Amino acid sequence: MPKKTPAPAPEPIDPKKGIIAQSIASEMETAYLDYAMSVITQRALPDVRDGLKPVHRRILYSMRLNGLTSTAKFKKSATVVGDVLGSFHPHGDSAVYEAMVKLAQDFSTRYPLVIGQGNFGSIDGDSAAAYRYTEAKMSKISEELLRDLEKDTVDWRPNFDGTKKEPVVLPAAAPNLLLLGSLGIAVGMATNIPPHNLREVTDAVAHLIDNPDASTDDLLKHVQGPDFPTGAIAFDKKAIAQAYATGRGGVVVRGEAEIVEDKRGAFSIIITSVPFRVNKADMQEKIANLVREKKIEGIREMRDESTADIRIVIELKTGAQPQTVLNKLYKHTQLEDTFHYNMVALVDGVPQTLSLKTILQEYIKHRAEVIRRRTEYDLGKAKDREHILLGLKKALDHIDKIIKLIRASKDVPTAHAALMKEFKFSEIQAQAILDMRLQKLAGLERKKIEEELAAIQKLIKELETILKSKAVMMKIVKTELQEVADKFGDDRRTKIVKGGVKQLSQEDLVPDDESVLVLTKGGYVKRTNPAEYKVQKRGGVGVVDLNTKEEDMVTTLLTTSAHSDLLFFTDAGKVYQCKMYEIPEGRRATKGKSIMNFLSMNAEESVTSVLAVRKEDWEGDWSLMMVTKNGIAKKSDAGAFKDVRRSGLIAITLREDDSLIAAHFVGKGDEISLISEKGQAIRFKESDVREMGRTAAGVTAMKLAKGDVIVSADIL
């Protein structure tokens, strides 16, 4: 077989051809680090000074270049997106448009920087219309971020292809990082900063300027906490303080909800705000799913009545406990959410986790630098004007000679040189004189020149004073920020609650006042305020307490506190439990509601005894004595009935053709009397009946003649 020709050896690398030998592992590491740093510094994280990511800064700068100020006419969003892409931001068009849309959404941005016209999305998660349909321009407050940009107040850098320049940072007359907050995910790090109230941040900046050693606690006397565009309620000032001190932490946020009772006694839950960044439509869908899965019970209907403001109405079923339903909404849906602080921003191009104080310090430092550079710019312009005015003033002393000299000169360079030589003008002064028409030059008024010169020289002194005095510069920082706050400041939207969040029970919301319980033989029950009953004089005819049917009658009337437990014993030997406040309060002469609305009783059961137990009574040494119509008595430990499930418990096991007629609490030394239908009676001590288990059948307490039954059992 012919031998295979060996493969040619690889050519040696020639550095002259621009090829460099490199380990693939080393190259991947370097390339990834370059990519990661690009994402961190050029895309995902805001600059602490103006609070903007590069894409936001480029959008605003491009809009300014195109004249899209707050007073201008709207232009197609496509114009802005195209200019940003073509001039400054070589990334996807959707990224630019989505960033611009966020700046225009009043539910996403506390102080919108863009005014949108058209469909810019909704809090229900609806996307904005395509940028060929919508229009936009800058808002008034965004103009404050770019104010004095033309006065060399910030550094500039070339754009991606070197054809234009863009600002590295904006002058930012407002503390934008705290006002707008920020959300971004970089490589290996992320940022999540909440929005805040302009007035509060302004006060905090002023306080820190006056008190450089102020602590975070001092600053939090001015900045109460986050101020979300959607309102809501933020809980736990300790957690809030921890987040601002360290730059990290979690704060529980709840949407605002109110329990409302209508004239018919039906309850509804009205939701008027949702936590920040929560999709309202998704939250409603989640509620509907929980109702279908029976994880939340008691909701009859939900409808969204939102217009400009949020309003979600949740109607409850009869007998549903509103506070319990609301607690479950908080627990299982985004009506309660946690905002996780991660206050990361770029400081001198380096990502850092920042405290509230550090963010304010960096902003103050930035504004001081902007004011210094602006003052130097204005000072330079003022000195240039002063120099020209001094030349014009000097020219007035020799105006006739100067005009004659200019007319005699064969050209401008000759006149320029002659002015400098003859009258000792500088190049700039000579040029300023030559730039004026002879008619205007001849008509110069000395008074106007001297007045303008005096004003300019006064301005120069003021500008020089600013540059020499840090205190004056800090005063300007405060004054200019206060002017912004006066123009754009508004009231806080998010409520701050000092304590931590907790699942409020209905008991927490109901005063533990005395109430009267009335139950009828037909199973109608109601709770009444004792004030409904007035003391009457002897011979009074009384008042109607319950509007019953002709065949119905009151079987139970007792007084206890609203927080008491009620034990309902039925003829079937079962016991049910509910709180006194769970029985709806009604007026004195009303009918009440069926007991079946509150207890999971069978239709064949009827209540024979109702016992009220105050909280402190459960601690006592009590027993429960039950008596049946066939003369059976049973004594059980009262503690066995402290927690009765909603479906009820067996209180006594009944024999055939027997039923429970009475249940009473008894203490040591009490006596019980039983009376039969045929007039027989017995009296015995409670100690004569031994204590038995909850489901025991009991013992014979009274032997009855054939056909006789117990009709009354009382404690003596």
Residue 406 has a pLDDT of 85
Binned at pLDDT 50, 70 and 90, residue 565 comes out as: very high
> Mean pLDDT throughout 81-85?
95
Following DSSP, what letter does each residue of 560-619 receive, concatenated?
EETT-EEEEEETTSEEEEEEGGGSPB--TTS--EEGGGTS---TT--EEEEEEE-GGGGG
Closest CA to 269 of 337, 320, 216: 320
| Distances from the Cα of 176 to the Cα of 47, 49, 367, 369, 490, angstroms | 10, 8, 12, 16, 15
At position 151, the amino acid (one-letter code) is K
User: Which one has a higher pLDDT value, 411 or 222?
Assistant: 222
Q: Is the pLDDT of residue 290 over 80?
A: yes
Q: Which two tokens stand for residue 347?
A: 């400081």
A 10 A CB-CB count for 512 gives: 14
Beta carbons of 693 and 674 less than 8 angstroms apart: no
CA distance 493 to 113: 18
pLDDT band, residue 624 (cuts 50/70/90)? very high
Mean per-residue pLDDT, 510-531: 84
Nearest to 711 by CA among 688, 686, 683, 679: 679
Say how far apart CA 558 and CA 566 lie, in whole Å. 11
Higher pLDDT, 269 or 18: 269
Average pLDDT of the residues in 165-176:
96
In this prediction, residue 538 has a pLDDT band, given cuts at 50, 70 and 90, of: low
Q: What domains sit in the chain, N to C, each tagged with a CATH number?
A: 52-171 (3.90.199.10), 256-334 (3.30.1360.40), 365-488 (1.10.268.10), 506-715 (2.120.10.90)
Model confidence pLDDT, tens digit, residues 464-507: 999 999 999 999 999 999 999 999 999 999 999 988 877 656 67
Residue 40: band (very low, low, confident or very high) from pLDDT cuts 50, 70, 90: low
The CA distance from 437 to 516, in Å, is: 102
1: confidence class by pLDDT, cuts 50, 70, 90: very low
The two structure tokens encoding residue 434 = 């030559």
The pLDDT of residue 63 is 97
Q: Which residues are catalytic?
A: 133
H helix and E strand count, the chain = 19, 33
Give the pLDDT score at 365.
98
Q: In the chain, what percentage of residues exceed pLDDT 90?
A: 62
pLDDT score recorded for residue 421: 87
Does position 644 have pLDDT exceeding 70, yes or no? yes
Please report the pLDDT score of residue 716 as a whole number: 85
Residues in CB range of 81: below 8 A, 6 or more apart: 93, 96, 97, 100, 131
Residue 549 has pLDDT above 70, yes or no: no
Q: Which of 552, 572, 594, 559 is nearest to 661 (CA)?
A: 572
Strands 671-676 and 681-685 turn out to be antiparallel
Q: Is the pLDDT of residue 440 over 80?
A: no
pLDDT at 22: 73
Q: Which pLDDT does position 11 carry in this prediction? A: 53
The confidence score (pLDDT) of residue 547 equals 55
- Residue 167 has a CB neighbour count (10 Å cut-off) of 18
More confident residue, 511 or 414: 414
Checking if the pLDDT of 396 tops 60, the result is yes
The per-residue pLDDT for 447 is: 84
| Res 585 pLDDT > 80 | no
The pTM assigned to this predicted structure is 0.72
Which is nearest to 196 in space by CA: 485, 487, 480, 501? 485
More confident position, 619 or 606:
606
- For 629, the token pair is 């119509």
Question: Across 421-544, where does the E strand assignment appear?
Answer: 495-497, 514-520, 524-528
> pLDDT-derived band of residue 169, with 50, 70 and 90 as boundaries?
very high
pLDDT value of position 369: 97
Mean pLDDT over all residues of the chain? 89
Most confident region among 23-32, 358-367, 672-681 by mean pLDDT: 358-367
pLDDT per position as a tens digit, 111-141: 999 999 999 999 999 999 999 999 999 999 9
- Summarize the confidence of residues 66-88 as an average pLDDT: 96
Instruction: Answer whether residue 573 shows pLDDT above 80.
Output: yes
Burial of 190 (0-12, 13-18, 19+ CB in 10 A): middle
